Amino acid sequence: MNANWILPSIICVLALPALGQQSLDSAYRTTGTAVLAAFEPQRKVLQTSSAVLLDGRKEIGYGVVISSEGLILAKWSEVDLVVGLSVTVDQTTYPDVKVLAKDPRWDVALLKIDASGLVPVVFASTSDLAQGTWVVANGATTRTTRRALAGIISAKSREIPASGGAALGVTLKPNSKILEVIEVHEKSGASDVGLKHGDVILSIDGKAVKKIEELGELLKDRKAGSTIQMIIRREGKEILLDVRLSARGELFTDQMNRNDQMSGEYSPRRSGFPRVIQHDILGSRHVQGGPLLDLDGRCVGMNIARANRAESFAIPVEELKLLAETLKKQTPN
Amino acid sequence: MTVLLLCGSMRLNAREVVNDLTAPESRKDLETIQKSVERVLPQARAATVCIEIDEGSGTGVIVSKDGLVLTAAHVATGVKKKATVILEDGTRLKAETLGLVADKDAAMVQILDRGTYPFVEIDRAESTLLGDWVFSLGHAGGFDKERGSVVRLGRLVRIAGATFQSDCMLIGGDSGGPLFDLSGKLVGIHSRVGQQAQVNMHVPLAEFVANWDGLINGEFIGEGPYAEKPEKGNGYLGLATDSRSGGGLIVTKVGLKSPAELAGIKNGDVLLKLNGVNLEKREQMQEILKNLSAGDEVTFEIERAGKLKTITFNLSER
């Protein structure tokens, strides 16, 4: 069923005050200063072990400090292509930021700043937290002071399939009897392996393909981030390539639906994650990438997407630890 | 053992002290909130259902063991309408809308499949106060078995007339879903949102309690804006017919993209019965349609190429 999600259009609530109306002062609301004061121990962890990513003066994301010498995990799609990237940890700003490695599947980059004596996060032993468990993440920040936002674990941990399915990231010649590539999307796995205009796709995972429909059928049940074996013909020669499939949503901006329209600044890359934990902390796309903490101040995950107004995703600590190790190994010495 | 049980049951009804603090002051206060939510969540989740009506998907909550469901009027859209209720485990059940309050966004739905259903207690005492900690459940964005319904925590931040406002963030698909207090009692039903994410509105349970009998009896109470009163005779079929000697009406024209066309009725089909009434003259069909409204269901028995067929579909608006 292609259902519409029911919620009446946004209604202006700045109506005249009604008789007998009672209103809670903003300080005592869930995002208010008085309530967040109860999360001071966790905020202190964010102060030293989260990184603020800046494009000039603009805050574009956060990061997780994972070593005392300045290794930081960040949300790749928010820092990609940023020219004047700098990083603030605690009260020190580091203008020199190197991108050491990246993982397109998780949308995570490993950054390095020239620092020493930083306080890395302490990883929790599990991300398997009951729904209703408090979690804390970065809110907005001042130059010197991190702020916390709090929420709860709000749904089951699970895979978030790529929206729109997996895509190769190529445009094929229309109305042709062969699969001739006429354009390659620059952010796709096809581009990574050097596929180019004029190449002809002959087979996928050993199956011959000639029609666009056949190609679509073969890719239909594949997952974004997985790899296919493709034989192409280029200048008369057959070449074997291992191509990573992209999430359609990574390559093309999704069409906004009604839920998106009421979601403010959600993360453009918000699907295609092997597993996430979900919480209800109200952060914009520009506060993603930082650690998700439990009440003990331990890192239970890394905030990776604000999916919409009511749902935020984090990479679970189990996968995050493995990912950090993998990215470190990819790093050229 | 008896003492322990008594303590347990007393605690369920007791008001959590943390509600009377202007803000949580310690880790212990935070843990009190967390433990309350964890304790009552399994039952609250089990009673929270997805409701599909026509092309819409909203949320509702079961409040009796025989399957009475509370939801929003704009989810029900009308009275005595066919609905599908989806339980947490994905079980799909037949249901029907009962009454609604159009100006307060309150409605009831009855599950028609017999069974014993998980349900929640409702707050009849109107015990909720400004600043109380509350949590919302809902099938945000529609039913998703892998994810389940989504829980969000917040406080009751505004009480104004027939509206509760909380800072539990809602989105499309949550409509009609439940708002609970820390003892697991149902205190509100999700209705609408403001431009800011912190602005989320719920219908207080008092509005349901005040209209309970009318809702149970399937009455359409009040005027707009959350549901439109059906207007008799405004249903659209999209057929032209001629009477046929020997009974029945022969279809001479089917409107483009009309409900009849979408349901598969074709030129030349012979309409034998409409809603159980034998069709002899065109006037008979018009008489039946005069008493139906847009959205109502019609069932035709037809003859096509010598074979009998039954086709059921809904009228659209003229």
H or E segment and range at residue A201: strand A200-204
Same structural domain, B147 and B295: no
Least CB–CB distance from A155: residue in B25, B147, B157: B147
Same structural domain, B197 and B309: no
Peptide bond into B225 cis (omega under 30): yes
Same structural domain, B71 and B199: yes
pLDDT category at A106 given cuts 50, 70, 90 is very high
Give the pLDDT score at B14: 67
Cβ within 8 Å, pair A27-B146? no
Chain A residues with beta carbon closer than 8 angstroms to that of B174 = 7, 310
Q: Using a CB–CB cutoff of 8 Å, tell me whether B19 touches chain A.
A: no
Chain A residues with beta carbon closer than 8 angstroms to that of B24 = 35, 38
Tokens of residue B122, six digits? 């409702």
Same structural domain, B12 and B135: yes
Q: Using a CB–CB cutoff of 8 Å, tell me whether A8 touches chain B.
A: yes
Give the pLDDT score at A2: 42
pLDDT higher than threshold 90 for residue A123: yes
Residue in A closest to B25 by C-alpha: A38
Minimum distance, in Å, between the CA of residue B263 and any CA atom of chain A: 16
Q: How far apart are CA B112 and CA A188, in angstroms?
A: 50
* pLDDT tens track for A281-316: 988 899 999 999 999 999 999 999 999 989 999 999
Chain A residues with beta carbon closer than 8 angstroms to that of B132 = none
Task: For residue A296, give the nearest of A146, A159, A129 by alpha carbon.
Answer: A129
Cβ within 8 Å, pair A7-B193? yes
Give the pLDDT score at B229: 84
Domain-located, residue A219: yes
Domain-located, residue A261: no
Least CB–CB distance from B130: residue in A24, A32, A310: A24
Chain A stretch 182-211, residues whose beta carbon is closer than 8 A to a beta carbon of chain B:
none
Residue in A7, A22, A262, A311 to test binding to B, most B beta-carbons within 10 Å: A7
Same structural domain, A101 and A173: no
Beta bridge partners of A58: A55
Least CB–CB distance from B142: residue in A5, A17, A311: A5
Q: What is the mean pLDDT of residues A41-61?
A: 96
Q: How many CA atoms lie within 13 A of A60 on its CB side?
A: 21
Same structural domain, B292 and B245: yes
Minimum distance, in Å, between the CA of residue B145 and any CA atom of chain A: 10
Domain closes at, from A203, A222, A250: A250
Query: Strand, coil or helix: what is B234?
Result: coil
Q: Using a CB–CB cutoff of 8 Å, tell me whether B29 touches chain A.
A: yes
Give the pLDDT score at B6: 39
Interface confidence, given as ipTM, is 0.82
Same structural domain, B289 and B145: no
Q: What is the mean pLDDT of residues A17-39?
A: 86
Least CB–CB distance from A259: residue in B131, B171, B194: B171
Domain closes at, from A220, A250, A280: A250
Domain closes at, from B229, B250, B278: B229
Same structural domain, B15 and B104: yes
Cβ within 8 Å, pair B172-A262? yes
Q: Using a CB–CB cutoff of 8 Å, tell me whether A131 touches chain B.
A: yes
Report CA A316 to chain centroid distance, whole Å. 13
Domain-located, residue A324: yes
Same structural domain, A176 and A202: yes
pLDDT higher than threshold 60 for residue A14: no
Span between the terminal Cα atoms of chain A, in Å: 53
Q: CATH number of the domain that B46 lies in?
A: 2.40.10.120
Q: CATH number of the domain that B291 lies in?
A: 2.30.42.10
Q: CATH number of the domain that A214 lies in?
A: 2.30.42.10
- Number of structural domains in chain B: 2
Domain-located, residue A260: no
Domain closes at, from A197, A222, A250: A250
Same structural domain, A98 and A173: no
Locate tokens 């002071």: which residue? A145
pLDDT category at A5 given cuts 50, 70, 90 is low
pLDDT category at A20 given cuts 50, 70, 90 is low
pLDDT tens by residue, chain B, 318 residues: 333 333 334 444 568 888 988 999 999 999 999 999 999 999 999 999 999 998 889 999 999 999 999 999 999 999 999 999 999 999 999 999 999 999 999 999 999 999 999 999 999 888 899 999 999 999 999 999 999 999 999 999 999 888 999 999 999 999 999 999 999 999 999 999 887 777 899 999 999 999 999 999 999 999 988 988 878 888 899 999 998 888 899 999 999 989 999 999 999 999 999 999 999 888 889 889 998 888 788 999 999 988 999 999 988 887
- Number of structural domains in chain A: 2
Same structural domain, B119 and B63: yes
Cβ within 8 Å, pair B171-A5? yes
The CA–CA distances, whole Å, from A154 to A168, A222, A313 equal: 33, 28, 10
Same structural domain, B126 and B109: yes
Give the pLDDT score at A268: 83
Chain B residues with beta carbon closer than 8 angstroms to that of A312 = none
Same structural domain, A37 and A63: yes
* pLDDT tens track for A76-92: 988 887 888 999 999 99
Give the pLDDT score at A15: 40
- The backbone torsions φ and ψ at residue B153, rounded to the nearest 5 degrees and listed phi first, read -110, 145
Least CB–CB distance from B158: residue in A11, A22, A311: A22
Same structural domain, A57 and A172: no
Cβ within 8 Å, pair B147-A131? no
Task: Identify whether the C-beta of residue A320 lies closer than 8 Å to the C-beta of residue A73.
Answer: yes
Helix residue spans in B48-134 (DSSP H): 73-76
Q: Using a CB–CB cutoff of 8 Å, tell me whether A134 touches chain B.
A: yes
pLDDT higher than threshold 60 for residue A116: yes
- Domain span at residue A210 reads 166-250
Same structural domain, A242 and A277: no
pLDDT category at A4 given cuts 50, 70, 90 is low
Same structural domain, B241 and B98: no
Same structural domain, A179 and A273: no
Tokens of residue B204, six digits? 């207080």
pLDDT higher than threshold 60 for residue A17: no
Q: How many CB pairs under 8 A join A and B?
A: 203
* pLDDT tens track for A152-197: 999 999 999 887 778 888 999 988 889 999 999 887 889 889 999 9
Diameter over CA atoms, chain B: 85
Query: Strand, coil or helix: what is B100?
Result: strand
Average model confidence (pLDDT) across chain A: 89
pLDDT category at A16 given cuts 50, 70, 90 is very low
Q: Using a CB–CB cutoff of 8 Å, tell me whether B140 touches chain A.
A: yes
Chain B residues with beta carbon closer than 8 angstroms to that of A311 = 140, 150, 171
A222-228 long-range contacts, CB within 8 A, separation 24+:
A222/A165, A222/A166, A223/A161, A223/A162, A223/A166, A224/A105, A224/A161, A224/A162, A224/A165, A224/A166, A224/A167, A224/A248, A224/A250, A224/A272, A225/A104, A225/A105, A225/A162, A225/A272, A225/A274, A226/A166, A227/A189, A228/A204
Minimum distance, in Å, between the CA of residue B229 and any CA atom of chain A: 17
Q: CATH number of the domain that A47 lies in?
A: 2.40.10.120
Domain-located, residue A17: no
- Domain span at residue B261 reads 235-317
Same structural domain, B51 and B110: yes
Cβ within 8 Å, pair B146-A311? no
Burial class (CB in 10 A: 0-12, 13-18, 19+), B242: exposed
pTM value? 0.82
pLDDT higher than threshold 80 for residue A225: no
Burial class (CB in 10 A: 0-12, 13-18, 19+), B303: middle
Q: Are strands B56-62 and A4-5 parallel, antiparallel or unpaired?
A: parallel
H or E segment and range at residue A41: helix A40-49
CB count within 10 Å of CB A175 equals 5
Same structural domain, B25 and B160: yes
The CA–CA distances, whole Å, from B40 to A134, B145, B146, B183 equal: 16, 20, 21, 7
Cβ within 8 Å, pair A18-B160? yes
Cβ within 8 Å, pair B160-A17? yes
pLDDT higher than threshold 60 for residue A239: yes
CB count within 10 Å of CB B246 equals 7
Domain closes at, from B206, B229, B252: B229
Minimum distance, in Å, between the CA of residue A312 and any CA atom of chain B: 11
Give the pLDDT score at B11: 44
Domain-located, residue A237: yes
Give the pLDDT score at A176: 85
Domain closes at, from B176, B194, B229: B229
Q: What percent of chain A has pLDDT over 70?
A: 92
